[in-house]
Amino acid sequence: MRETNSTEEKVVTRTGAPQYSTAGAPEATVVNHGKRGLAGKLNRLFAAVPRPDGKEYTNEQVAEAVRASKLVKTISQSYIWQLRNGVKDNPTFAHLRGLAAFFEVPVSYFVDDEVADRIDEKLAALRAERERIAELASDSEARLIAMRAGELSPQGRRQVMDLLNVVHELELSKRGGEVPEP
């Protein structure tokens, strides 16, 4: 568990996960002189962190959630639009902190290209996995297999899994893929 000192406060992100931030932080302005600008990073977050229905958050939804977090007194959808379009590129630390909390990334994502690169890689992998799962869920044969497997006894499910593992390993070896350890 994380200990907090008197200058830290616990905030809750959009998914309810606790995140800690400096309560008495000055309203210092943060300028991003990295190889990628603030607008690009913010737009990547919008694209990579979808709403529960899979669609992209709107500027208004993000502004409302950031205001509700109480990390920022005021932030509007038009200000977020300006940040996303490069019209404004010098937000206050409080604005960055609020946006970071919403998207569940560290504030350093916006100012450190190495941190942004690492997080972007993780977000891309997560997005690919989400798309793979959605594709599987829409496949009627895969759903039928899952439904039938759910009706089997535990022993029957183990036998089906063993058979699936054999077929999976065969297909991987045919494609030249690496066969995973059991």
Q: What residues form DSSP beta bridges with 20?
A: 10
- What per-residue confidence (pLDDT) applies to 178? 61
Closest by CA position to 101, among listed 13, 18, 39, 30? 13
- What per-residue confidence (pLDDT) applies to 31? 42
What SS3 class is residue 10?
A: strand
Closest by CA position to 46, among listed 85, 11, 7, 75? 85
- What per-residue confidence (pLDDT) applies to 76? 97
- What per-residue confidence (pLDDT) applies to 95? 97
Residues 44 and 67 in one domain: yes
In a domain, 45, yes or no: yes
Range of the domain at 153: 140-175
Residue linked to tokens 């990295």: 34
Question: Which CATH number is 38's domain given?
Answer: 1.10.260.40
Residues 82 and 170 in one domain: no
- What per-residue confidence (pLDDT) applies to 7? 38
What SS3 class is residue 22?
A: strand
User: CB-based burial of residue 1 (10 Å sphere; 0-12 exposed, 13-18 middle, 19+ buried)?
Assistant: exposed
- What per-residue confidence (pLDDT) applies to 144? 82
> DSSP states of 10-53 as a string?
EEE-TTS-EEEEETT----B----SSS-HHHHHHHHHHHS--TT
Closest by CA position to 80, among listed 68, 88, 72? 88
Residues 111 and 161 in one domain: no
Q: What residues form DSSP beta bridges with 21?
A: 9
Residues 100 and 170 in one domain: no
Residues 86 and 144 in one domain: no
Residues 152 and 117 in one domain: no
Instruction: Give the total number of structural domains in the chain.
Output: 2
pTM greater than 0.95 (yes/no): no
- What per-residue confidence (pLDDT) applies to 109? 96
Which run of H or of E encompasses 155? helix 154-175
- What per-residue confidence (pLDDT) applies to 120? 93
Average pLDDT by consecutive 10-residue portion of the chain (182 residues)? 38 46 39 66 94 93 96 96 95 96 96 94 90 80 83 92 90 73 52
Residues 144 and 170 in one domain: yes
